[in-house]
Amino acid sequence: MSAPPPPAAVAPAAPPQQAPFPLTFTVHATWNKARVATLSLPHNPRCRTPMFMPVGTQGAIKGLTAQQMEDLDVDLILGNTYFLSLRPGGEAMEKLGGLHKFASWRRAMLTDSGGFQMVSLLDLSELTEEGVSFISPVDGTRMLLTPEKSIQIQNQIGADVMMALDDVVSSLTTGPRVEEAMHRTIRWLDRCYAAHKRPTEQNLFAIVQGGLDPRLRTMCMAEMKKRDGHIPGYAIGGLSGGEDKNLFWRVVHQCTSELPQNKPRYLMGVGYPLDLLVCSALGVDMFDCVYPCRTARFGTALADCPGGVIHLRSDKFALSKEPIDAQCHCMVCHEYTMGRLHQLACHEGGAELITMHNIAYQMRHMQRIRDAIKGGTFPDLVRYFIRTLHPKGDLPTWAKDALEAAGLPDLGLEELRQMAPPKEIPTPVQEEAKDDDEE
């Protein structure tokens, strides 16, 4: 029998005093658990939540410039600490003035801790209590990533939001390894905060672990809430790895119900439009995922249509004179037909153009969610979305159950199938953009 995992680090007997974080989180409107807020960060005081954050592994979105991302009204993008530590390296980042200057990005940034590479690079990693050792996929050298090293690199990168290094296991893992990872995540969290050298300039979020076990999730959150005075925001980690969606949404619902209400909640690795809608209803504020960019490289565009995607490599679009979405205001939909995009996707690339559209779609999708919450019309938006993407009434059971748990009444799918389509897609209300010259 294996030895039980060591206990989590013991928090101070009295809760620590609330720190003066370089972050404010102001809720403006709610609809049951769903909420609209402004997240004020050093490089962008007007981040609008719920928000989707595109992933730029090297601090930039493949094929797009920083100005194009600003034109798409992206509030915050992600960088990958592990890969940035390999190229160009933390010291180089610091000498170059941080990732913002290096990438010419004037709005907010978030860096992950490198913990996810324990799953994505499992065959190249080795875990101990000290940290995780990786074999570089670039040059084969070995690197030991400890909580202290992760925070040192993230301090050098200079992102507005940093993530604590956690012990990440696949969401399909069961048994004692999940509890071991949860306890180690707490111990590493304390080491991360002790190593954080720029607490008045950068926000260090904690990551809730515990797999699909509600008991372990509650234990993890209870330990983190003892440290709430040091924690400006919380992430829900360890999901979106192929687990049963009936278990996925229940973990999200549990975490948003038990985490502090006055702090932002970030659901890591989630980006399908249906998931964004459902999890916003469950009270999540921040999302990230490679999905809109990665699927673009396979010629797939996101759209309000049955199934939610258009496969532009299909021969049926070869002679199409229509845009991807006539209601979309992005440059791609204004200047390119699906026929041209079909040609590019099949023979000459086109990934950059489809990526641009897909990010524009995600931004518009989140804007509609925010508008509906503020306007008290969130159930109408949900019904519209279901009718458009699932016109045959084939909404997954997990999504229906999650929406009901979030306070939505019976969605009447049989009735929705018989309704005429709307005359036009609801147009989002344009929110005031940040004046970047303020920086």
Q: Is 112 one of the annotated binding-site residues?
A: yes
Q: Is 328 one of the annotated binding-site residues?
A: yes
DSSP-based helix, strand, coil % in the chain, nearest 5: 40, 15, 45
Q: Is 209 one of the annotated binding-site residues?
A: yes
* Ramachandran angles phi, psi of 365, nearest 5°: -60, -45
Q: Is 357 one of the annotated binding-site residues?
A: yes
Q: Are 232 and 204 in contact (CB under 8 A)?
A: yes
Q: Are 309 and 303 in contact (CB under 8 A)?
A: yes
The residues assigned a catalytic role are 112, 288
Measured between alpha carbons, how far is 77 from 68 in angstroms, rounded to an integer? Answer: 13
* Ramachandran angles phi, psi of 33, nearest 5°: -80, -25
Q: Is 114 one of the annotated binding-site residues?
A: yes
Measured between alpha carbons, how far is 351 from 434 in angstroms, rounded to an integer? Answer: 28
- What six digits make up the tokens of 78? 């992600």
Q: CA-based Rg of the chain, rounded to a whole angstrom?
A: 22
3-state per-residue secondary structure call for 296-346: HCCCEEECCCCCCEEECCCHHHCCCCCCCCCCCCCHHHHHCCHHHHHHHHH
Q: Is 115 one of the annotated binding-site residues?
A: yes
420 class by beta-carbon count within 10 Å (0-12 exposed, 13-18 middle, 19+ buried): exposed
Measured between alpha carbons, how far is 324 from 334 in angstroms, rounded to an integer? Answer: 9
Q: Does a cis peptide bond (omega within 30 degrees of 0) precede residue 232? A: no
Q: Is 285 one of the annotated binding-site residues?
A: no
**Closest to 314 in 3D by CA, of 292, 330, 338:** 338
Q: Is 75 one of the annotated binding-site residues?
A: no
Region of residue 342 (left: phi > 0; alpha: psi -120 to 50; beta: else) = alpha
* Pairing status of strand 125-127 against strand 24-31: unpaired
Q: Is 311 one of the annotated binding-site residues?
A: no
Three-class secondary structure of residue 183 per DSSP: helix
Q: Is 289 one of the annotated binding-site residues?
A: no
Binding site: which residues? 112-116, 166, 209, 238, 328, 330, 333, 357
Binding site for Zn(2+): which residues? 328, 330, 333, 357
Binding site for substrate: which residues? 112-116, 166, 209, 238
